[in-house]
Amino acid sequence: MRFFLPTIACLALGFAGVVVGSALSAQQAAETSAAAKFKLPPGYLPITALPDSLTLLPAPPEPGSAAFAQDEHAHARAAALRNTPRWTVAASDADLHFPHAASLLSCAADLSISKDATPRLYGLLGRMFVDVGLSTYRAKDHYKRTRPFVLHKEATCTPTEDTLLSADGSYPSGHSAVGWGWALVLTELVPSRADTILRRGRDFGESRVVCDAHWQSDVDAGRVIAAATVARLHADAIFAADLAAAKAEVAAAPRGAVTPDACAAQAAALASGP
């Protein structure tokens, strides 16, 4: 199974065009649209069961507020990392195409995560990706927050996607939500690496600030929605079964199956901040 999604924004834009017919429920129509257009698996949860980000999150910081000043400070600090190895990692983290996306936390987990090496885990990450990503959109579509690169007339670390991103709300960050959601689940599967995995999940979100695609408060809010979605997923029987299968698979998988030099380079880049 190959998942295809240029950005979380594309998923929402595809769903926005769904017309629900009398023979299809909203969930069925959404899944049909996604499967046809983006070659995605269905998520685990019905759309009506997704956490409501508009209810769970406060409004984003207003321009001129102390909170917005903190966002601007984080933006300025991250600007110093442009065109450094940390910028390169941020660009890699921005790429949510599978199979690339599934491997982004491999170094942190000390585990080769791929369709061939860990097919049950690979499928689990792909399905929950849909749930976590979609859970951000009630707030995104309501607030339609302007992204930092648009406000400051800059370019992100993925300039070919800037036009698409500029039309998609900044708050909360879907990428950050996905990265944190994956990290939370991976800590259950590889508890001996929990701190390293969670730090990588944190850095995954910070990559969006480095990339100039999101404000810091977008990233922080994305983690809230990720935690809410993962909590909800644990009440789903199919997710629970897939998680158990992935846990058995990971327990039997060899450790140290990732490239040491590449992981060392990634760690060095991430250590440079933020």
The residues carrying an active-site annotation are 175, 208, 214, 218
In 112-133, which positions are buried (b, 16+ CB within 10 angstroms) versus exposed (e)? bbbbebbebbbbbbbbbbbbbb
- CA-to-CA distance for 81 and 97, rounded, in angstroms? 24
Q: Please, which residues have CB within 8 angstroms of residue 46's CB and are 6 or more apart in sequence?
A: 27
Q: Are 170 and 45 in contact (CB under 8 A)?
A: no
Q: Nearest-5° angle of CA 175, CA 112, CA 229?
A: 35
Q: Please, which residues have CB within 8 angstroms of residue 241's CB and are 6 or more apart in sequence?
A: none
Shortest CA distance to 67 belongs to which of 216, 225, 173? 216
